[in-house]
Chain A
Amino acid sequence: MESRIQRIFLVRVILAAVLLTASSLSIAQHDGSNPGEKTILDSIIEPDLDRRKIRESKIDSEHFEFGFFTGVMSVEDFGSNNVSGLRGAFHISEDWFIEAVYGATEISETSAEALFDIPLLEDRNLRYYNTSLGVNLFPGEIFIGRNHAFNSNVFLILGAGNTRFAGDEYLTYNFGGGFRLFITDWMSFRLDFRNHIFTHTVLGEEKSIQNLETHFGLSIYF
């Protein structure tokens, strides 16, 4: 008995499904038949123009900058030492850019360490990274000889990051400026001046130190 009722229901469901599909198909066919038939009048009113657009993506863009640098960094109380590192930047507009820098240096002895021969620190490596916002201020041209003119600009930069120093890490603010000379469209020479400011307690009391860095480097644009 039960199976008979089930079968009746099943038949009804299948019937309903078939009917529904058929009706929706017929609607779809009805809809689809109209635009296919294009009269001669239509083609005169709407000429078949190719409205292709030229996209910017076909043009090689140079918004990203990647480069290396080397120079001198003075770490307060710990002497002036060679510094080198890598940088990556994204040029947002002709005025603004953001830059991430990673640099490394090895600090030398304080005068107390040198005089009394007591090593204060075990870890003498200093590593820093920072992200900064830069603004291109003064665009210009540098003329070398009679036949060469190179574009240049002067920029200011401000940012924050981390410094790993004496086995600990410190929030570091940096600011400075620099000079960029474009050798070709895709390569530039850079000269940077930065001040890295952070507060540490390595020498006992809390001390805010200013660490000046100057470096030059090469960057490519892609």
Chain B
Amino acid sequence: MIKTITWIAALCFSICANIAHAGWDLIPNRGVDLIVIDPYIQMHTGPGRGYPVFHVIEKGEKLHIFVKRTDWFKVETAKGVKGWVKRSSFVKTLGLEGQLTAFTGPGREDYLNRRFEFGILTGRFDTADSLTTYGAFHLTQNISGELKYTQTFSPVANNKLLGFNVVHKPFPTWRISPFFTLGYGQISISPSAALVQPKQRKNWLYTVGTGAFVYISRRFLMRIEYNKHTLLTKREANEEVEEWKAGFSVFF
């Protein structure tokens, strides 16, 4: 076992060393060229505020941006110095033909016009613990569609729930923005293996819910939600289950 791992480690290390030595760039000729108008721009050795400043780009110098990671851009000056520059440093930088730069970071505007959203929520599904992951696509500021996968855990039974929901936000611009949701999906209920005669069953269900989005900052938002699921059974009465959950999401 240890031998195998050592072998894989050695292999990975040699591949990495080769790649690092060759300095491969996957997409070599993409990016933008700019002229610095600010008095100076500081260049860091890495994409983070903790990395030291090792070079200063002067006013009037040309530079090429080829990669960005979160709020940092990797740039190369005309003299061939490579380093990382924070997004906020590019306030007055212009394009080669005098075009303005639109390097505004993710903010409230992006939150309002978000297209994709991904989030994780935990909470209570009836008396069980629940864990939900979801992905959403926003059609307009008010309406979005969501695919949700919930797993619930209790000593008696574990459930898996896959559903599609339509979400309506009547006041998307509010910082705490309420929403209403309507959904349809399937729940698969598997009683614990420790119980006698565990028999898995599947039910269709529909869901109504309400909750709120709270925009925190940058790409983060919080989400609190209450759902009422109605399981369509073959018995005389349908089952109703209440669910509370809270979590956070990111958008991009």
Contact = CB atoms under 8 A, between A and B. Distances in A.
A160 interface: yes
Given A51-B100, A59-B31, A186-B26, A171 B71 contact: no
A167 B200 CA distance: 13
A63 B252 contact: yes
Chain B: number of interface residues, binned into ranges? 35 or more
Interface residues of A, number: 60
B31 A60 contact: yes
Contacts of A218: 12, 15-16
Contacts of B151: 162, 169, 171
Interface string B80-111: 00000000000000010101111100000000
B192 A171 contact: no
Interface string A85-107: 00000111110101010000000
Interface string B1-41: 10011001100110110011001111100111010000000
B60 interface: no
A168 B193 contact: yes
Contacts of A50: 97, 99
Interface string A108-148: 00000000000000000000000101001011110000001
A53 B20 CA distance: 35
Interface stretch (B45-53, B168-176, B235-243): B45-53
Contacts of B155: 201, 206
Contacts of A9: none
B66 A60 contact: yes
A97 to B, nearest CB: 9
A51 B99 CA distance: 6
18 contacts: A50-B97, A50-B99, A53-B102, A54-B34, A58-B31, A62-B69, A63-B70, A92-B219, A94-B48, A133-B248, A138-B50, A148-B20, A153-B48, A161-B131, A171-B151, A183-B16, A184-B25, A186-B67
